[in-house]
């Protein structure tokens, strides 16, 4: 039987206590895949094609903290395009402090890298991802992706890694990240990549914000895949913000 999770008011938490709620497991030996999403109460993953319409101050605070804790931010190409992804800009003092407490972060305060997963490598080399100042972007793609796409992204400064023939499997993704010694993984979606990770049994945890609104429309849910893969999870915490936002953390019940 699962124990009741801690239900906490955000206003009762000090900044350090909030960090403690989201710390990665100490010293992961292999990539630990944390996924972060925000959803409306009725399950929409976006408003007019972007997640920004769902964000609340509490969600933005945790979104930033999760980035500060991570070694790498992994996103599907659909999200990188829709959200016009750039480099991650984190607070270097906080990153260093997190590192010294063993929570994540970086010893030198360097920002986490951004890795985009794409079958096609059809990303715009003039987009923010490649022109923003910050850590060198990573493109994790396939041998089937057109060579000219891969060349253009490498010339734009990306580290281009082939990790699969037609698609990037979860195992190949983990191997690629392990090779780069990027173990505290924060996957920021989107639904197609998350669906692939769930069906591969590769999700270690989900941080899910429920935004206090209904959306309706034709928006998608947070995970989609051709086949279902029921995956038991248990709740680590529920944090309630004053505006009705609910911050949750779910861990896979049987970790590998
Ligand atoms: N609410 C939230 O927290 C949140 C978070 C993230 C995204 N979103 C929303 O989700 C929407 C985007 O959805 P989406 O399903 O297009 O997102 P996605 O999963 O980010 O992108 C799908 C694309 O990513 C690549 N991809 C995904 N898995 C792959 C794999 N295993 N191997 C190789 N390539 C893979 C493919 O790119 P190629 O086509 O280049 O091959 C695929 O077409 C946007 O509206 C965004 O705002 C919301």
What is the tens place of the pLDDT at every residue in 104-141? 999 999 999 999 999 999 999 999 999 998 999 999 99
Q: How far is the CA of 123 from the centre of ligand 1 (A)?
A: 12
* Residue to probe by mutation, ligand 1, list 52, 74, 78, 221, most atoms within 8 Å of CB: 78
Does the structure show a pLDDT above 60 at 255? Answer: no
Cis peptide bond upstream of 190, omega within 30: yes
pLDDT tens-digit profile of 182-192?
999 999 999 99
Does the structure show a pLDDT above 70 at 240? Answer: yes
Using 50, 70 and 90 to split pLDDT, how confident is the model at 27? confident
120 lines ligand 1 (CB under 6 A): yes
User: Do 42 and 216 touch, CB atoms closer than 8 A?
Assistant: yes
Question: How confident is the prediction for the chain on average, in pLDDT?
Answer: 95
Counting beta carbons within 10 angstroms of the beta carbon of residue 96, is it exposed (0 to 12), middle (13 to 18) or buried (19 or more)?
middle
pTM: 0.97
Q: How far is the CA of 121 from the centre of ligand 1 (A)?
A: 13
- Per-residue pLDDT at 5: 66
User: Do 114 and 138 touch, CB atoms closer than 8 A?
Assistant: yes
pLDDT tens-digit profile of 208-228?
999 999 999 999 999 999 999
How far, in Å, CA of 236 to CA of 21, rounded?
8
49 lines ligand 1 (CB under 6 A): yes
Query: For 103, how many CA atoms within 13 A lie in the half-sphere containing its CB?
Result: 20
Phi and psi angles of residue 122, each rounded to the nearest 5 degrees, phi first: -90, 70
Query: In the chain, where do the E strands start and end?
Result: 6-9, 32-40, 72-76, 113-117, 138-141, 159-162, 184-187, 205-211, 233-240, 246-252
């Amino acid at each position: 039987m699962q124990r009741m999770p801690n239900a906490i008011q955000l206003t009762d938490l000090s900044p350090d206590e909030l960090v403690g709620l989201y710390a990665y497991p100490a010293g992961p030996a292999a990539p630990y895949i944390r996924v972060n999403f925000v959803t409306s109460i009725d399950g929409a993953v976006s408003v007019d094609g972007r997640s920004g319409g769902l964000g609340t101050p509490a969600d933005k605070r945790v979104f930033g903290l999760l980035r500060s804790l991570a070694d790498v931010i992994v996103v599907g190409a659909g999200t990188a395009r829709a959200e016009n992804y750039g480099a991650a800009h984190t607070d270097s003092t906080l990153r260093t402090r997190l590192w010294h407490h063993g929570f994540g972060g970086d010893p030198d305060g360097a920002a986490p890298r951004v890795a985009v997963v794409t079958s096609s490598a059809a990303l715009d080399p003039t987009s923010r991802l490649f022109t923003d100042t910050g850590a060198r972007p990573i493109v994790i793609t396939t041998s089937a992706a057109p060579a000219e796409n891969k060349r253009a992204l490498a010339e734009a400064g990306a580290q281009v890694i082939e990790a699969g023939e037609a698609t990037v499997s979860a195992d190949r993704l983990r191997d690629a990240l392990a090779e780069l010694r990027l173990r505290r993984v924060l996957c920021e979606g989107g639904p197609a990549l998350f669906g692939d990770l769930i069906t591969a049994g590769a999700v270690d945890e989900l941080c899910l914000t429920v935004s206090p609104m209904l959306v309706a429309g034709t928006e998608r849910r947070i995970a989609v895949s051709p086949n279902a893969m029921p995956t038991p999870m248990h709740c680590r915490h529920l944090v309630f913000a004053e505006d009705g936002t609910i911050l949750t953390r779910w861990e896979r019940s049987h970790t590998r």
